Structure 1
């Protein structure tokens, strides 16, 4: 039987590549976007195996309606890819409350809306896979990206917890951690730049703003290759809770793990001393 994928943010970027490669492999795809016409234009010629749907993930009622349409059309959802998301560059102090809340609404609460809508059907069949598109910024924080990283750190925490909660129910969960990919992510349509600019942060968040401007469409990562890795991982028999993608991710995660290990070794005795009874090994 063909696998049925439900992909959010499928009109461009990594979501579009995952949808196209799944369709090319003979699978069914529910491809959602705020503008489903963009999905239809980007993925012509797939007939009834493609179901483009309008979806603003911020709206829980629309998420439920989209999942209902998917189940009515294909009968099931085997793989959910929570890909819809946005970016924000600016120092934490520069980022307004409205800017931060809007980012969390899409990157975190939008993911929760779609996941809650899909899970009842997966639980009923005791099968399914959930892929949460995170970022290397869900494992490592950078100056100028603090609020964005906070949303992806939340995605990573949710992924780890859901993997534990859902594994006994036959459902697998994984977070994908891409480094910079050559997508539209750094375009103004996807990346918000904090409106407030504070000169004191010119060497930190200011440098990140400059990097976003200079690196647009020049990132090292190939989104088509990234999509192929995701699809292969979903089809594999063993799915890790994290899937790192790209040289930047490998380098940054390795550096953080080494630094964290050094902190643990330096603070081990102090950390253990706060417990009433400590077995020091």
Structure 2
């Protein structure tokens, strides 16, 4: 076997399919996971270096079984890509508590469970890469995305803290903040769930926002195949950057957020600096 062994979650649709195909095309072996292994293999396409494994990322025991199966098949795991996720859209007050918790369970605790299952393998190897796909919404919040942004912000903080923890074992960590890419994320019934609650004060804005989001599906500027190729190229480079802002829209939004934070710091700089104990 040549190349690295990639372990990719959410490989049955969207960006996960493209990442798996790009890694295979680059000569790597791929453990492609999803809730239905047969669907994953059909989506990615048969390949001698492809191993499709059933995995519900919200089930920690399933993550352990999938990691063990990957090692049984290929002997190691070199690159973990935490890609699986979904989108509970809506204003905070009209998202039910169950919906908000479900968002965190999939987008936050899911990647944690998979990473817990894979890190012992990488520590034993004294090498590996953990690549976690967050979102521009992981750094820039906005209305109608409170649950989604909360889950992605949480991933950002976790990954930033994880990186120095695992670095002594030869393990690198990178977050990927995509902008809008033409995937299935905004497809209702697949990855997007609309609010469960109905509050009159939000009714008109909710209707208008849902129509706007629906109208964006299939019109996103980003090409997921190019993003997948970029991730493989970065992984194959000498070292991972801590972050990769994916797309011109992502870079623009993040740069604007950084400028806004700087202005907010400057506005109260003297007051903030005055809060130390007097000498």
Does residue 119 (structure 1) correspond to residue 122 (structure 2)? The answer is no
Instruction: Report if the CA contact (8 A) 1:92-1:147 is conserved.
Output: yes
How big is the alpha-carbon RMSD for the aligned residues of Structure 1 and Structure 2?
1.4
Does residue 6 (structure 1) correspond to residue 2 (structure 2)? The answer is no
Specify whether residues 208 and 237 from structure 1 end up closer, same or farther in structure 2 by C-alpha distance, changes over 3 A only: farther
Match of 1:232 in 2: 233
- Structure 1 gap segments, 5+ residues each: none
What's the TM-score once normalised by structure 2's chain length?
0.95
CA distance in 2, matches of 1:86, 1:261: 31
Cα distance per residue 1:6-29 (max 9 Å; x no partner)? 000001111110100111112100
Specify whether residues 132 and 199 from structure 1 end up closer, same or farther in structure 2 by C-alpha distance, changes over 3 A only: same
Specify whether residues 40 and 244 from structure 1 end up closer, same or farther in structure 2 by C-alpha distance, changes over 3 A only: same
Match of 1:262 in 2: 263
CA distance in 2, matches of 1:274, 1:15: 48
Cα distance per residue 1:229-252 (max 9 Å; x no partner)? 111111112322111011221111
Does residue 160 (structure 1) correspond to residue 160 (structure 2)? The answer is yes
- Structure 2 gap segments, 5+ residues each: none
Secondary structure in 2 aligned to 1:12? Answer: coil
Cα distance per residue 1:240-280 (max 9 Å; x no partner)? 211101122111111111110111111112112222268xx
CA distance in 1, matches of 2:278, 2:5: 52
Match of 2:202 in 1: 201
CA distance in 2, matches of 1:3, 1:99: 37
Instruction: Report if the CA contact (8 A) 1:89-1:205 is conserved.
Output: no
Secondary structure in 1 aligned to 2:268? Answer: helix
How big is the shift at 1:45?
Answer: 3.2
Does residue 109 (structure 1) correspond to residue 102 (structure 2)? The answer is no
How big is the shift at 1:172?
Answer: 0.5
Match of 1:55 in 2: 55
Secondary structure in 2 aligned to 1:220? Answer: coil
Greater shift in the superposed pair: 141-150 or 199-208? 199-208
Match of 1:132 in 2: 132
**Count, aligned residues:** 277
What's the TM-score once normalised by structure 1's chain length?
0.95
